[in-house]
Amino acid sequence: MNYDVSDTLAITSITSYDKGTLFFKEDTDGIRAQNLEVPYFDRASQFAQDLRLTSDTGGPFDFIVGAYFNREKVFNETTLEVFNGTDANSDGVINAQDCADALPVACKIRNQFDQVKKSFALYTDLKYKLTDALTLRGGLRYTHDTGAQTGFKSDALGVDDSFVANLIPLSDLRFTQNNVSGKIGIDYKLASGDLLYASVSRGYRAPSFNAQAFFAPVELGVAKAEQVTAFEAGAKTQFWDRRITLNMAAFYYNYKNQQFINVNPADASQQLLNIPKSRLYGGEVELTVRPSDTFTFHGGLGLLSTRIKEGIVSGVNVAGNRLSNAPTLTFNASFDWTMVQGKFGAISFHPEVAYQSSQFFENINIPRLRQTSYALFGGHLDWNSSDGRYSVSAWARNLGNKFYFTSRIDLTGFGLDYNHIGNPRMYGVTAGVKF
């Protein structure tokens, strides 16, 4: 809802509600043998309310003042089905006794919990025009977060779902966190209309529960709040009668207690951990060139350097390692070319390429789990009717049929690496009608 209080003030209200249920059984080992399979069940709802007052005075000073509330409720149940096809005690049958004799082999390790998180915030976003060219920007946000995880327990069950042992007794966890974050920056508009900007900001992520605990009470806990101090500077420019747009940005992020998921290779249990200190810096460039009404080129380049400055993961000192999912170089390019245009409509061609350098998917930087650099090629050939109502597009993705991974996890305790694989070569035709 938008409501104009006056010619210079407006109230905006955004209300949202989301509810869903998930059941999914994952064949984690990917083979016929029942080495590791994980059924997930989740029931969740979320409510959010944002209410803000915005000014548009036409003068040097304008503001946004707002309040925000979010509530998330979750019930979750996760089961690790560990070697459920194994006769662990060699008595000729597979039953609950196998689990009792060889826990966790031939067991279903099942945890469950209820969780409620609430977040309340007051925030401002301010700008003051010092001169026609120079604008000062700033803002503050106060956040109050609470969380309660209740009824947590983890049990070992036999393959027939009969109770064998309680591994983590019923327990509750809670947290309360207050935070003040903010941003200050300047914009400088050149006579040409190009923009230069710089900013310093402090960001925050609330604490969170380590919900994937299965085998011992020590696995339960609360990950600390994450904090980042970010420095950024850049430029937004246009040349050649606005036919060339060039945007550039450089940034430096200093993290404290960065949150991440770690998977224990021995038993597949997950833990939400903190890396005490890490940093990353880099730069991005975006280029658009439009030499004619029928041809446009798009290109992008990203450079990134990441380092863990302090941290222990699975007993390994990871200081000096690269952060996960952080290729040092990314590049993309495409163009839009209207080849033919007439009363019958227009035919256009849109090839594209995306490249990224090597990366790790975990913070220990295990060499065999490293994804080497790769490029993906694709594009589409389109026909659009002259009235814009009808369209047909022939498209292709990963034309080179490149084999690559999108995530990898060390599960040596089960004799495997758990991998997610990128889509192979795909192609098709899409037709559309606008009514």
Query: How far apart are alpha carbons 61 and 39 in whole angstroms?
Result: 55
Surface-to-core class of residue 352, CB atoms within 10 Å of its CB (0-12 exposed, 13-18 middle, 19+ buried): middle
Q: Which two tokens stand for residue 381?
A: 């050939």
DSSP 306-324: EEEEE-EETTEE-TTPPPT
Surface-to-core class of residue 140, CB atoms within 10 Å of its CB (0-12 exposed, 13-18 middle, 19+ buried): middle
Each residue's pLDDT expressed in tens, for the chain with a length of 435 residues:
999 999 999 999 999 999 999 999 999 888 888 899 999 999 999 999 999 999 999 899 999 999 999 999 999 999 999 999 999 999 999 999 999 999 999 999 999 999 999 999 999 999 999 999 999 999 999 999 999 999 999 999 999 999 999 999 999 999 999 999 999 999 999 999 999 999 999 999 999 998 889 998 888 889 999 999 999 999 999 999 999 999 999 999 999 999 998 888 887 778 889 999 999 999 999 999 999 999 999 999 999 999 999 999 988 999 999 999 999 999 999 999 999 999 999 999 999 999 999 999 999 999 999 999 999 999 999 999 999 999 999 999 999 999 999 999 999 888 889 999 999 999 999 999 999
Return the pLDDT at 123: 98
Query: How far apart are alpha carbons 115 and 211 in whole angstroms?
Result: 9
Query: How far apart are alpha carbons 403 and 371 in whole angstroms?
Result: 10
Q: Provide the residue ranges of all domains of the chain, joining segments of one domain with +.
A: 108-146+159-433
Return the pLDDT at 233: 98
Kindly report whether the peptide bond that precedes residue 104 is cis, defined as omega within 30 degrees of 0.
Answer: yes
Query: How far apart are alpha carbons 370 and 419 in whole angstroms?
Result: 11
DSSP 266-287: TT--EEEEEEEEEEEEEEEEEE
Q: Domain 108-146+159-433, CATH 3.40.190.10 — does that match?
A: no
Angle (nearest 5°) at CA 329 between 326 and 333: 120
